[in-house]
Amino acid sequence: MADLGLTRLNAVLAVARLGSFRAAASTMGMSPTALGNAVGALEKQIGVRLFNRTTRSVALTEAGRAFIEEVGPALRMIDAAMEGARAHQDTPSGTLRINAFASAAREVLAPLILEYVRRFPRVHIDLVTDGRMIDIVAAGFDFGIRRIDFVPADMIALRLGTPRRHAVVATPRYLSAHPAPRVPADLLRHACVRIRLPSGELYRWHFEKDGDAEQVAVHGPVTVDEASLARIAVLKDIGIGYFMEHDIAEDLAEGRLVRVLEEWTPALPDLCLYYSDRRNSSAAFRAFVELARELSVTAHT
């Protein structure tokens, strides 16, 4: 029997699940070209077309749907068998795949992920940032990192416990030319750097004080979709920005940015590492959970 290759089979399953070659390539850590070649090679090998492709959409053919129904359970059994074999390893090795909001990834990168690869150099971490809520098991991830209120109820969640707040900031130069806002509504008279969400919607800035919650749809000359771009704009005196405190902590400490409306930005829910229950987890998986527990304990002491 011809060797179909697990990579090719997993590529087909990923495209079928996500409905996109680009999204599937990102999930598998491949280029879209490499993934397309893998799918094409499998189609050539078995002699049928599995997908109907247009410039705008990808859909399973009837043969492709039947193939997925047959192959999917078998691949899951193979994955489970491989995971069970890895459980007998003494030394963590292999790859762990993690999905996280970008802001969460920035917060845990140094204390958790980079510390882990220093301790266990035989393990490769594949970190994918995504602003959407996804099914981490169906998408092939070992772990997710989200705020606790975003963690699905059927997952095991481990609080990471790092202090988290938003921060509303501007440069001293901007604030010398404009009166600092005293309540959130004052922001409507200021230039603000707006953030666009992955859904395409503009993010409303959230505030809370003494149980009074407000959302402000700010206005300004610049809209971006990434916090590092917003930080550059604010540092160039364009206007006021809204960030996770962690992302601009050094700027605050060194006086490049000044905080406003601090009493309106209370502590946020904890970040959590979450994962599905596994009877036979690998040494790499177990070691990552243990380090996360260590980080959580340190944060609470």
Q: Chain-wide mean pLDDT for the chain?
A: 87
Query: Do 187 and 260 sit in the same domain of this protein?
Result: yes
Co-location of 10 and 147 in the same domain: no
Q: Are 168 and 259 in contact (CB under 8 A)?
A: yes
Q: Residue 188: its pLDDT value, please?
A: 97
Long-range pairs, 108-114, Cβ under 8 A, ≥24: 108/145, 108/160, 108/162, 108/271, 108/295, 111/162, 111/295, 112/160, 112/273, 112/291, 112/292, 112/295
| pLDDT for residue 279 | 67
What's the mean pLDDT in 36-54? Answer: 86
Q: Cα–Cα distance between 215 and 147 in angstroms, integer?
A: 19
pLDDT at 18: 81
Question: 107 in helix, strand or coil?
Answer: helix
Q: What pTM was computed for the model?
A: 0.65
Both 133 and 149 in one domain: the answer is yes
Nearest residue to 139 (alpha-carbon basis) of 261, 269, 23, 262:
23
pLDDT of 87 above 70: no
Same-domain check for residues 63 and 109 = no
- Co-location of 157 and 170 in the same domain: no
Number of separate domains in the chain: 3
Domain holding 238: CATH number? 3.40.190.290
Other CB atoms within 10 Å distance of the CB of residue 153: 5
Among 54, 86, 118, give the residue marking a domain's end. 86
Task: Confirm whether 1 is domain-assigned.
Answer: no
Q: Which domain holds residue 177?
A: 166-264
What the block records as the tokens of 172 is 């001293």
Q: What is the pLDDT of residues 93-152, one digit of tens each?
A: 999 999 998 889 998 999 999 999 999 999 999 999 887 888 888 888 999 999 888 899
Q: 89 pLDDT band (50/70/90 cuts)?
A: low
Whether residue 172 sits in one domain with residue 229: yes
